Amino acid sequence: MERTVGNKYNLYRNMTYRTKTDWFFVDPNTLQTKEERDFLEYTLATINANRYPSKTAEQLADMRLKGDERYFRVPLTGGGSIMQVSGMLAAFKDSLKRLLPSELK
Q: What is the pLDDT of residue 8?
A: 64
Question: Distance between alpha carbon 85 and the CA centroid of its chain, in Å?
Answer: 21
- Detail the DSSP E strand segments found in 1-105: 16-18, 23-25
Average pLDDT, the chain: 79
DSSP 52: -
- The Cα 85–Cα 94 span in angstroms is 14
Write the pLDDT tens digit of every residue in 84-95.
566 666 666 766
Whether the pLDDT of residue 32 is over 70: the answer is yes
Of 99 and 2, the structure prediction assigns the larger pLDDT to: 99
- The Cα 23–Cα 103 span in angstroms is 39
- The Cα 25–Cα 17 span in angstroms is 6
Q: What is the pLDDT of residue 82?
A: 60
